[in-house]
Amino acid sequence: MLFLFDFYKSPFLILVKMKRGDKMKRVYTEYDKGIPILKFTECSNCSMPYGEHSNNIINRGCCWYDAEFDIYDLKNLVDIDIDLLNNLLKKYTYKIKNSDLYYAIEFPAICYGKDNVKHNKVCIFFEKYKGCKLPIYAKPFICRTALCPQVRLYLLPEDYRQIRNFINKAYRHRLMAIEEIKQKLNFSSIKPDNIYEVINVLKSISPLKPIDEIRINILVKNKN
């Protein structure tokens, strides 16, 4: 899904790949401004049924989501690149999701067919031939921490454990941050339907604690 842009935009990586003349598949982590992402090299040429689509959108993979930024993602963006957040809000249509338990901004995907199903959809931030337009630190949490269902079957147990450890740590960090934000952000004193009010309050909260880095670089071998 998620990882095409960075792969394509790096001529260095492409060169290395061509020089080696191999098809090494890897799952690995990258950090951008302290924010991690789990990457899989095969996303640039997704061959998984999960990534199929009906409109021939090259390399869409599984980027069919209505991209959703919960309060954790919003706080990260406020801390790291508030201008980017403001630009996204100006440029794209969004909906606010607000309940006692959950607050998020959703950017609905583009739907090409009559039915609003994943086969017909492409995320608003997906760019043909390039992939995700967002920098790593601005991608929603789920886009940064999902393990491709394709790759799972090919991993050795110890490699899978390493990846689970990374994902579990990322989830724990997110949950603790959400708790902290909720304690400080008093929704009853603001209008949550006004995202700019929420952003202002998020600005007043101290920056989130950085997440401990876990470096992963796992070679994925085909099963015979």
**DSSP of 155-199:** --HHHHHHHHHHHHHHHHHHHHHHHHHHHH--GGGS-TTSHHHHH
By the rule CB under 6 A, 43 interacts with ligand SF4:
yes
By the rule CB under 6 A, 80 interacts with ligand SF4:
no
By the rule CB under 6 A, 65 interacts with ligand SF4:
yes
By the rule CB under 6 A, 46 interacts with ligand SF4:
yes
Q: Which residues of 82-109 are buried (b: 16+ CB within 10 A; e: fewer)?
A: eeebeebbeeeebeeeeeeeebbbbbbb
Per-residue tokens: 177: 């941050």
Q: Return the number of the residue (63 or 185) whose C-beta is nearest ligand SF4.
A: 63
When binding is defined by CB under 6 A, the residue of 143, 198, 208, 220 that contacts ligand SF4 is 143
**Distance in Å, CB of 194 to ligand SF4, minimum:** 24
Q: Return the number of the residue (159 or 180) whose C-beta is nearest ligand SF4.
A: 159
Cα 127 to the center of its chain, rounded Å? 15
When binding is defined by CB under 6 A, the residue of 16, 24, 33, 50 that contacts ligand SF4 is 50
For residue 14, which amino acid is it?
I
- What 3-state DSSP class applies to 55? coil
For residue 163, which amino acid is it?
I
When binding is defined by CB under 6 A, the residue of 27, 123, 185, 218 that contacts ligand SF4 is 123
Contact assessment for residue 205 and residue 184, using Cβ atoms and an 8 Å cutoff: yes
When binding is defined by CB under 6 A, the residue of 35, 62, 88, 181 that contacts ligand SF4 is 62
Measured CA to CA, the distance from residue 67 to residue 73 in angstroms comes to 11
DSSP H or E run through 143? helix 141-145
Which span (9-17, 70-78, 126-134, 169-177) binds ligand SF4, by CB under 6 A? 126-134
By the rule CB under 6 A, 155 interacts with ligand SF4:
no
Q: Return the number of the residue (50 or 171) whose C-beta is nearest ligand SF4.
A: 50
Contact assessment for residue 132 and residue 3, using Cβ atoms and an 8 Å cutoff: yes
Which span (38-46, 79-87, 184-192, 200-208) binds ligand SF4, by CB under 6 A? 38-46
Q: Return the number of the residue (125 or 185) whose C-beta is nearest ligand SF4.
A: 125
Q: Which residues bind ligand SF4 (CB under 6 A)?
A: 1-2, 40, 42-43, 46, 48, 50-51, 61-63, 65, 67, 123, 125-126, 132, 134, 139-140, 143, 148, 150
